[in-house]
Structure 1
Amino acid sequence: MNLKAQTKICLVCHRPFNNRKKWESRGLWPEIKYCSEKCRQQTKHEKT
């Protein structure tokens, strides 16, 4: 297998995170902005 490591920086905690097999297979990687559910939920609390 020739898997290229894809990395993004989380918009909340600014930590790098890698593409997950689940995101890759569903074609979601371009839409992913947060490393975890916790970081994703923090943005909802900051907006309100």
Structure 2
Amino acid sequence: MLPNKLRKGQLPTKICATCGRPFEYRKKWRANWEEVKYCGEKCQRNRSATDLAPGGPASGQPL
């Protein structure tokens, strides 16, 4: 569980499962931050194309 008050320098980050870029916590994700996997809607829509491709960010291999 995240604290109620987060400062800009203290925001947790994750790596997007589609594009492999880091993204920061957003207020709208407060209720389900643990389940968030994608940095935005575009990556969520395109997840099947890169998540299933060999050598993609989800495979754990560097690009």
TM range, normalised to the smaller chain?
Answer: 0.7 to 0.9
Higher relative CO (CA 8 A, sep ≥ 6), structure 1 or 2?
Answer: 1
Structure of greater Rg = 2
Deviation at 1:33, TM superposition (A): 0.1
**1:43 pairs with one of 25, 42, 47:** 47
Consecutive unaligned residues of structure 2, counting only runs of 5 or more, are: 53-63
**2:13 pairs with one of 7, 14, 17:** 7
Identity of aligned residues (%): 49
**2:34 pairs with one of 25, 30, 35:** 30
SS at match of 2:28: helix
- Alignment TM-score, normalising by the size of structure 1: 0.75
- Alignment TM-score, normalising by the size of structure 2: 0.60
Consecutive unaligned residues of structure 1, counting only runs of 5 or more, are: none
1:21 aligned residue: 27
